[in-house]
């Protein structure tokens, strides 16, 4: 991402007026002693560090003179090192080093070194950091190297740490937590936290699907922070609010422990940069790098390794229980839509959900019934993937004892088995299995073998796949603590599964969440955040298609918790908590929430899904079912955009918002007679996305959830989408494809009235392509 090249002095080659402005601004901004500064700079950015301590004093964006580092903290340590021993954890920082030295081997590089630590354990330690800037971009790369780590346990290395001041105006923090989310004024939100420290922290690879974050104020410069790790090493990205209102960004690196090595030197750099724009600008910066990496080149979708039936799936049905509750409604829905419907199947298994894993087989309805239902569904062209958790083993199951599973479960740093109680009805815990053990890979791949080869599933939904467990069990034979052994072993696991499947070409392995490092291993990614309010309630974080904006051409995402019914209750859970009326209809006041969830998934390029579908909904909730059927049909006519297109910025036009009712009810919300939790929320009533196809056509998706017509009016230039200057504009909607208007002289102008709840794709077809058609 960062090109290492010659620095250009800011005054050289710049117009005199700009140079004077820059000098003026620098003099006015800088209150510290210039003699004590060491700097690197290019025409875009200038980094000033203290020559006495190595602390970052300023990160100046020279284009508008803004700076985002707190310049009043000349001793703010750019790193913190946690050393663990029997007495606990000690943290080292720059003030603990008696000596600091620095070098500038070339114009773009600073080398900083701290050593002679006062801490007895760290006497031999020296810490070096390398800061490199590009010739002409606003990014800098930061690397760290620890020497003399032999004999000490380095638990965590926080580097870099940047203290970010606040610009005037509303501030936004965009984070690729799986699909992606954004929060307005994160400092205000964090200040309301009771716990200390007040912080956000996400781990990668795992909840962070990509290794980047963006903190910005619209119209001003913002912080772009990322990593260029191609090996999937475990790390956390964090923001902490300090008592003065500064946000401290830091990258927490977790070394492999007890390697016997005297050096810890991550193979990757942190990227710290300045950018102007919004979350999509940050996504575009990241995309430049991410789509050139190995996981993009080797993505199963990009390599054409995805089964045809998956690409052709027009609609997913996510139902639970016996085949009569799952495959029968799927066949009815497929008949209704006359397009391929695929099945995402929970609670097919013999064990109770979330505590009886992995005793999946035989299915709860029995072997014969299950196989016969599956074969009948296949006869109708319906494919089904079945749920199996790829991490958990119930610690109260018979198999846990009988198979001695505890030995192969992940352990924490104190040697304790990592467990969690997910099932609030039974309170029975499950343990996290260690992916790096052959035992677990064998166990899970054998389960997949049975589910697919014997029970005729078309694939497996590997729950909790896009997560990463740190394990400290030395007997497992992997490096303990941090490292990248989890992902390396996940790759071996999927290879092992595929090696056991007879019909490999039609096998789908799906995972929960999304993650760039899983692109070569999984065919399909569940990005449920389009329906986040339904399982998490509304909060300050808003869902954005961050992952799709970067990797849509390299991944198929799907799924939606969107339902018109109260979710079902597992028949194998305790009877006393079961709802009196199963599959109760949700109040009609939540119908607009259903439409919103569906509209998001259409506009943002997911394969659509409906949860808890039953045939009576087609008459009882006719408008909502029609909505999703239309949506799937329109999408099916625009697969060049919505399956294979590249995410682009949507031309600007005003989108109204409306307040409506939001329900929250997950499968666990019904305990002790709790009913649906209801909220009011204000959301847009039009959802949009813009997609560029391989053959350079543009598709702008529009999905209205309004009861009123809405006039769309926008202009843009062909050049901003790198399209030829003239062409035609079409509309694809449920009636088919119609000519709307043409454009010329590089100016695209679209006037179109969306009918109530209309779903369409505005197609911009440049003339060269049009003539070929």
Q: Which spans of this chain sit near Zn ion (rule: CB under 5 A)? A: 434, 436, 471, 473, 476
Query: Shortest distance, CB of residue 81 to Zn ion, whole angstroms?
Result: 25
Q: In angstroms, rounded to a whole number, what is the distance separating the alpha carbons of residues 450 and 361?
A: 8
Cβ closer to Zn ion: 50 or 469? Answer: 469
Cβ closer to Zn ion: 227 or 418? Answer: 418
User: Interior CA angle at 514 toward 509 and 520, to 5°?
Assistant: 55
Strands 383-389 and 459-463: parallel
Cβ closer to Zn ion: 284 or 406? Answer: 406
What the block records as the tokens of 14 is 């710049």
Query: Shortest distance, CB of residue 486 to Zn ion, whole angstroms?
Result: 9
From 190, 201, 214, 289, select the one nearest 251 (Cα to Cα): 201
Q: In angstroms, rounded to a whole number, what is the distance separating the alpha carbons of residues 674 and 729?
A: 51
Cβ closer to Zn ion: 434 or 760? Answer: 434
Q: In angstroms, rounded to a whole number, what is the distance separating the alpha carbons of residues 373 and 380?
A: 11
User: Interior CA angle at 425 toward 424 and 427, to 5°?
Assistant: 60
Cβ closer to Zn ion: 74 or 479? Answer: 479
Query: Shortest distance, CB of residue 473 to Zn ion, whole angstroms?
Result: 4
Cβ closer to Zn ion: 406 or 626? Answer: 406
Cβ closer to Zn ion: 303 or 474? Answer: 474
- Does an H or E element contain 430, and which? strand 430-432
Cβ closer to Zn ion: 295 or 393? Answer: 393
Query: Shortest distance, CB of residue 610 to Zn ion, whole angstroms?
Result: 39
From 335, 118, 156, select the one nearest 234 (Cα to Cα): 156
Provide Rg for the chain, Cα atoms: 27
Cβ closer to Zn ion: 188 or 403? Answer: 403
Cβ closer to Zn ion: 189 or 439? Answer: 439
**What separation in angstroms does the CA of 283 have from each of 298, 467, 546, 551, 642?**
20, 21, 7, 10, 18
What the block records as the tokens of 690 is 């813009």
CA 57 to chain centroid, in Å, comes to 32
Q: In angstroms, rounded to a whole number, what is the distance separating the alpha carbons of residues 290 and 492?
A: 23
Cβ closer to Zn ion: 69 or 469? Answer: 469
Cβ closer to Zn ion: 476 or 614? Answer: 476
User: Interior CA angle at 204 toward 200 and 209, to 5°?
Assistant: 95
Query: Shortest distance, CB of residue 476 to Zn ion, whole angstroms?
Result: 3
Q: Write out the DSSP string of 266-324.
A: -SS-EEEEEEES-HHHHHHHHHHHHTTSHHHHT-TTTTT-S-HHHHH--EEEEEESSHH
Q: In angstroms, rounded to a whole number, what is the distance separating the alpha carbons of residues 663 and 677?
A: 6
Query: Shortest distance, CB of residue 478 to Zn ion, whole angstroms?
Result: 6
Query: Where does residue 493 rank: exposed (0-12), middle (13-18), buried (19+ CB within 10 A)?
Result: buried
Query: Shortest distance, CB of residue 482 to Zn ion, whole angstroms?
Result: 13
Query: Shortest distance, CB of residue 432 to Zn ion, whole angstroms?
Result: 10
Query: Shortest distance, CB of residue 27 to Zn ion, whole angstroms?
Result: 57
Query: Shortest distance, CB of residue 411 to Zn ion, whole angstroms?
Result: 7
Query: Shortest distance, CB of residue 410 to Zn ion, whole angstroms?
Result: 5
From 363, 369, 368, 366, select the one nearest 346 (Cα to Cα): 363
Query: Shortest distance, CB of residue 431 to Zn ion, whole angstroms?
Result: 12
Cβ neighbors of 20 (< 8 A, separation 6 or more) are none
From 84, 234, 225, select the one nearest 160 (Cα to Cα): 225
User: Do 171 and 217 contact (CB within 8 A), yes or no?
Assistant: yes
Question: How is residue 744 annotated by DSSP?
Answer: B
Query: Shortest distance, CB of residue 208 to Zn ion, whole angstroms?
Result: 22
From 236, 218, 202, 235, select the one nearest 279 (Cα to Cα): 218
Map tokens 């799709």 to a residue.
548
- Does an H or E element contain 701, and which? strand 698-704
- Does an H or E element contain 770, and which? helix 767-772
Cβ closer to Zn ion: 411 or 692? Answer: 411
Query: Shortest distance, CB of residue 435 to Zn ion, whole angstroms?
Result: 8
Cβ closer to Zn ion: 476 or 621? Answer: 476
Residue 245 backbone zone (phi > 0: left; psi -120 to 50: alpha; other: beta) = left
């Amino acid at each position: 991402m960062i090109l290492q090249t010659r620095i250009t002095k800011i005054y050289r080659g710049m117009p005199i007026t700009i140079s004077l402005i820059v000098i003026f601004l620098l003099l006015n901004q800088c209150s510290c002693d210039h003699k004590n500064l060491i700097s690197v700079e290019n025409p875009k950015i200038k980094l000033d560090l203290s020559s006495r301590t190595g602390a970052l004093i300023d990160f100046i964006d020279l284009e508008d003179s803004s700076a985002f580092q707190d310049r009043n903290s000349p001793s703010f340590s750019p790193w913190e090192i946690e050393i663990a021993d029997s007495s606990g954890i000690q943290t080292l920082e720059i003030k603990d080093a008696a000596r600091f030295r620095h070098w500038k081997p070339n114009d773009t590089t600073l080398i900083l070194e701290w050593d002679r630590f006062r801490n007895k354990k760290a006497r031999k330690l020296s810490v070096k950091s390398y800061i490199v800037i590009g010739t002409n971009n606003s990014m800098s790369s930061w690397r760290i190297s620890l020497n003399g780590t032999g004999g000490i346990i380095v638990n965590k290395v926080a580097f870099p740490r940047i203290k970010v001041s606040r610009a005037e105006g509303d501030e936004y923090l965009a984070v690729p937590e799986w699909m992606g989310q954004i929060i307005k004024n994160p400092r205000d939100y964090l200040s309301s936290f009771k716990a200390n420290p007040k912080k956000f922290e996400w781990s990668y690879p795992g909840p962070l699907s990509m290794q980047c974050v963006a903190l910005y104020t619209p119209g001003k410069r913002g912080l772009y922070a990322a990593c260029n790790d191609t090996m999937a090493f475990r790390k956390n990205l964090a923001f902490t609010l300090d008592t003065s209102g500064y946000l401290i960004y830091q990258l927490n690196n977790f070394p492999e422990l007890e390697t016997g090595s005297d050096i810890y030197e991550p193979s990757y750099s942190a990227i710290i940069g300045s950018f102007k724009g919004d979350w999509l600008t940050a996504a575009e910066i990241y995309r430049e790098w991410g789509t050139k990496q190995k996981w993009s080149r080797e993505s199963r979708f990009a390599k054409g390794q995805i089964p045809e039936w998956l690409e052709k799936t027009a609609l997913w049905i996510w139902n639970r229980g016996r085949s009569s509750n799952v495959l029968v409604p799927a066949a009815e829905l497929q008949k209704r839509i006359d397009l391929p419907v695929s099945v995402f199947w929970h609670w097919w298994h013999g064990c109770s959900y979330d505590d009886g894993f992995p005793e999946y087989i035989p299915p709860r309805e029995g072997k014969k019934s299950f196989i016969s239902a599956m074969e009948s569904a296949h006869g109708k062209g319906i494919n089904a993937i079945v749920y199996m958790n790829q991490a958990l083993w119930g610690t109260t199951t018979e198999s846990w004892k009988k198979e001695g599973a505890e030995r192969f479960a992940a352990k924490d740093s104190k040697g304790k088995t990592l467990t969690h109680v997910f099932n609030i009805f039974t309170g029975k815990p499950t343990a996290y299995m260690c992916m790096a053990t052959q035992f677990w890979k064998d166990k899970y791949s054998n389960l997949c073998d049975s589910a697919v080869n014997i029970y005729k599933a078309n694939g497996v939904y590997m729950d909790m796949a896009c997560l990463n467990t740190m394990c400290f069990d030395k007997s497992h034979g992997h490096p303990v603590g941090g490292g990248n052994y989890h992902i390396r072993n996940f790759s071996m696991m999927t290879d092992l599964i595929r090696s056991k499947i007879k019909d490999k070409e039609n096998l789908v392995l799906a995972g929960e969440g999304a993650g760039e490092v899983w692109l070569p291993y999984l065919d399909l990614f569940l990005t449920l955040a389009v329906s986040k309010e339904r399982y998490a309630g509304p909060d300050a974080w808003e869902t954005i298609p961050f992952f799709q904006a970067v990797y849509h051409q390299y991944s198929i995402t799907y799924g939606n918790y969107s339902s018109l019914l109260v979710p079902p209750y597992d028949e194998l859970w305790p009877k006393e908590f079961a709802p009196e009326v199963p599959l109760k209809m949700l109040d009609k006041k939540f119908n607009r929430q259903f439409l919103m969830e569906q509209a998001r998934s259409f506009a943002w390029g997911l394969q659509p899904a409906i949860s808890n579908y039953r045939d009576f909904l087609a008459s009882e909730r006719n408008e909502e079912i029609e909505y999703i059927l239309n949506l799937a049909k329109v999408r099916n006519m625009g697969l060049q955009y919505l399956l294979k297109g590249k995410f682009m910025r949507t031309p600007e036009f005003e989108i109204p918002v409306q307040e409506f009712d939001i329900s929250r009810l997950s499968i666990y919300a019904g305990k002790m007679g709790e009913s649906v939790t209801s909220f009011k929320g204000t959301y847009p009533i039009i959802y949009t996305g813009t997609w560029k196809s391989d053959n350079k056509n543009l598709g702008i998706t529009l999905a209205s959830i309004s009861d009123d017509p809405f006039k769309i009016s926008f202009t843009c230039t062909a050049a901003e989408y790198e399209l030829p200057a003239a062409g035609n504009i079409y509309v694809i909607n449920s009636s088919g494809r119609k000519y709307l208007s043409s454009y010329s002289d590089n100016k695209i102008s679209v006037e179109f009235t969306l009918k109530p709840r209309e779903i369409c794709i505005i197609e911009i077809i440049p003339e060269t392509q049009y003539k070929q058609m």
